[in-house]
């Protein structure tokens, strides 16, 4: 006997549906988690293209030594906006958005716990993005003090332009959005799971979203307060971060990285969640060591809030602090390594079908391990003294954020696109996209490890013609253009597949989590009936009643 779940009373008039024809209004006024999720995804694609163009401008300027493509001011604006856009308006809202779409479906719920708050979260991101980009229209242009906005450079009298003010206001809006998303996710996951979906049966993607949400509600308030203090400094002549008037420049760094390092895990944990869904399905095996993958996530979440000052080894905090933050940061390698090995063990002995999602997930493992290993190296304070603020760091975090988060995002898009839209994406275009991304990505960023340890500082609009610097940078720039082509193919694949893609069945990948039980795309109310949940893979249990995942447990 299956359970019907009228968690939310049905409206008399149906909510706007994906298949309905109510026009734009049905989207703008929507409180449906699926529509909001899709709006998140569409807006991140737009921001991804904008942030990518900014990256291309940076790479053109650096293509040769002493090049004169843009002025130093514009260069500084470009790297500030590129970093801010990619972190706050691409990776973060994508992962939150895909979570908003999938979490209720994966736990068999009708919607998020607070649908209106969900809509507010989305529109605050858009509002923040408009505030940030509006600064291009001001007389002095956008902020040119970096995504880290170190005081006192970001303060009067060193930045008298309006850019950093718009920047802080825009990110404050995003911060409010992130806290409300975090709360919404936590309440949804803790209270709205369908009967039988115990915490130990939660899909790993939902586990990762849960841990991420706890990090969000703990660390975003730190940076939101810091933004407020920075705005007080800039607008009302407070002096929190201005040493000339008794403030502290280092305090800003503690606030910023107190948020900024956990932010890294906000950007990677949901990506781990995507990988932990994709790899088992395409290997045709359950995840290896479920409780270790989930438990290591909790460990990472806890450690993440105690490592921030590894971004500050050059500040001169003293060797006791340096030793502590080195050790704490290195410890994160342990739960992360456990995850990687569990993914590899999941693939081991499987029957792997290399569709595009699995290609990206497999490449993710290698690229992410690269970024993780350099991460352990730079957690060691003396190596950090050599590498910090150089291109080595640029290479490191692009391996983590691009090779990690973005590869996982691509895997996720190809994996769930059929569910989102009812159509499959083109596998041919998908494979072109994949190989060009792998080639372009490694070409752009691998060489930067060498530039870094050879002494090229970050955030410099020009460089002297030292041995090999020009040719290495040129190679990196060519790689960036290969990446640009791959992104065009990706965008074209989405647009083309929306119209002409093969019609998707309900469960095209033969997957096991609940979202694949409903129609593609899901009906407004998500499920007519939720199947009984007797284990971690409800759809496996349905298909193999003779071979249940948890044969000894009582049937719920």
Is position 302 an interface residue for other proteins (rule: CB under 8 A)? Answer: no
Question: What is the residue-wise DSSP string for 192-250?
Answer: -PPTT--GGGS-HHHHHHHHHHHHHHHHHHHHHHHHHHHHHHHHH---TT-GGGT--HH
> Which residue shows structure tokens 């948890």?
550
Between residues 63 and 333, which has the closer beta carbon with respect to other proteins? 333
∠ CA 525-509-342, rounded to 5°: 105
Number of residues interacting with other proteins: please give it, by CB under 8 A: 89
Q: Look up 339 and say whether it is catalytic.
A: yes
Distance CA 529, CA 526 (A): 9
CB of 390 to other proteins, least distance (A): 7
Which residues ranging from 216 to 255 are in contact with other proteins (CB under 8 A)? 243-244, 248-250
Q: Which of 286, 306, 505, 532 binds other proteins (CB under 8 A)?
A: 286
Catalytic residue among 30, 143, 154, 177: 177
CA dihedral over 141, 145, 151, 153, signed as positive or negative: negative
Using an 8 Å Cβ cutoff, are 286 and 280 in contact? yes
Q: Look up 213 and say whether it is catalytic.
A: no
Between residues 78 and 126, which has the closer beta carbon with respect to other proteins? 78
Which residues ranging from 24 to 83 are in contact with other proteins (CB under 8 A)? 71-73, 76
Token duo for residue 319: 């060797």
CB of 253 to other proteins, least distance (A): 9
Is position 86 an interface residue for other proteins (rule: CB under 8 A)? Answer: no
Catalytic residue among 33, 34, 201, 261: 261
Q: Look up 389 and say whether it is catalytic.
A: no
Binding segment (CB under 8 A) for other proteins, from list 97-105, 397-405, 406-414, 543-551: 543-551
Is position 377 an interface residue for other proteins (rule: CB under 8 A)? Answer: yes
Is position 459 an interface residue for other proteins (rule: CB under 8 A)? Answer: yes
Cβ contacts of 99 within 8 Å, gap of 6 or more: 37, 181, 185, 205, 209, 212, 270
Between residues 186 and 383, which has the closer beta carbon with respect to other proteins? 383
Which residues ranging from 354 to 373 are in contact with other proteins (CB under 8 A)? 354, 362, 365-366, 369-370, 373
Mask 127-166, x = binds other proteins (CB under 8 A)?
-----------------xxx---x-xx----x--------
CA 417 to chain centre: 17
CB of 212 to other proteins, least distance (A): 23
Give the long-range contacts of residues 321-329, CB within 8 A, separation 24 or more: 322/381, 323/381, 325/381, 326/379, 326/380, 326/381, 328/303, 329/375, 329/379
Half-sphere exposure of residue 302, counting CA atoms within 13 Å on the CB side? 7
Q: Look up 263 and say whether it is catalytic.
A: yes
CB of 494 to other proteins, least distance (A): 27
Catalytic machinery residues: 82, 111, 147, 177-178, 261, 263, 265, 276, 310-311, 336, 339, 458
């Amino acid at each position: 006997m299956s359970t019907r779940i009228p968690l939310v009373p049905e409206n008399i008039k149906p909510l706007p549906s994906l298949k309905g024809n109510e026009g734009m209004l049905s989207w703008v006024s929507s409180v449906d988690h699926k529509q909001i999720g899709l709006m998140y995804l569409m807006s991140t694609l737009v921001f991804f293209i904008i942030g990518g163009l900014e990256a291309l401008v940076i790479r053109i300027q650096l293509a040769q030594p002493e090049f004169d493509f843009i002025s130093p001011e514009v260069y500084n604006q470009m790297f500030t906006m590129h970093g801010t856009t990619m972190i706050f308006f691409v990776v973060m809202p994508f992962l939150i958005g895909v979570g908003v779409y999938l979490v209720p479906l994966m736990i068999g719920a009708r919607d998020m716990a607070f649908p209106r708050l969900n809509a507010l979260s989305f529109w605050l991101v858009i509002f923040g993005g408009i505030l940030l980009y509006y600064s291009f229209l001001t007389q002095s242009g956008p902020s040119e003090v970096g995504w880290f906005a170190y005081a006192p450079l970001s303060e009067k009298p060193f930045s008298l332009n309006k850019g950093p003010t718009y920047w802080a206001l825009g990110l404050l809006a995003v911060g409010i959005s992130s806290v409300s998303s975090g709360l919404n996710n936590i309440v949804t996951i803790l209270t709205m799971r369908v009967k039988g979906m115990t915490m130990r049966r939660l899909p790993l993607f939902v586990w990762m979203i849960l841990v991420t949400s706890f990090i969000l509600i703990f660390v975003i308030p730190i940076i939101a307060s810091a933004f407020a203090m920075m705005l007080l400094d800039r607008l009302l002549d407070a002096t929190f971060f201005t040493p000339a008037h008794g403030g502290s420049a280092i305090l800003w760094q503690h606030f910023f990285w107190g948020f900024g390092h956990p932010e890294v895990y906000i950007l990677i944990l949901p990506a781990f969640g995507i990988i932990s869904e994709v790899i088992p399905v395409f290997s045709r095996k359950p995840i290896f060591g479920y409780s270790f993958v989930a438990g290591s996530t909790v460990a990472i979440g806890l450690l993440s809030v105690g490592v921030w000052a590894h971004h500050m080894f050059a500040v001169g905090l003293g060797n006791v602090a340096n030793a502590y933050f080195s050790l704490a940061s290195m410890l994160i390698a342990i739960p992360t390594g456990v995850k990687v090995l569990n993914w590899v063990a999941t693939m081991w002995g499987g029957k792997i079908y290399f569709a595009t999602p699995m290609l990206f997930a497999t490449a993710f493992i290698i690229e992410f391990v690269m970024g993780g290993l350099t991460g352990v190296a730079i957690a060691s304070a003396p190596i950090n003294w050599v590498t910090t603020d150089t291109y080595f760091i640029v290479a490191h975090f692009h391996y983590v954020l691009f090779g990690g988060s973005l590869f996982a995002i691509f895997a996720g898009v190809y994996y769930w696109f059929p569910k989102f839209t009812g159509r499959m994406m083109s596998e041919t275009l998908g494979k072109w996209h994949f190989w060009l991304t792998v080639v372009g990505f490694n070409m752009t960023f691998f060489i930067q490890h060498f530039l870094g340890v050879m002494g090229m500082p970050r955030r410099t609009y020009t460089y002297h013609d030292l041995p090999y610097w020009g040719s290495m940078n040129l190679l990196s720039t060519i790689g960036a253009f290969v990446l640009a082509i791959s992104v065009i193919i990706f965008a074209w694949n989405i647009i083309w597949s929306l119209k002409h893609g093969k019609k998707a069945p309900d469960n095209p990948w033969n997957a096991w989590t609940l979202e694949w039980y409903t129609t593609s795309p899901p009906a407004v109310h998500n499920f007519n009936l939720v199947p009984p949940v007797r284990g971690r893979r409800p759809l496996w249990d349905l298909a193999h009643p003779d071979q249940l995942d948890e044969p000894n447990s009582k049937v719920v």
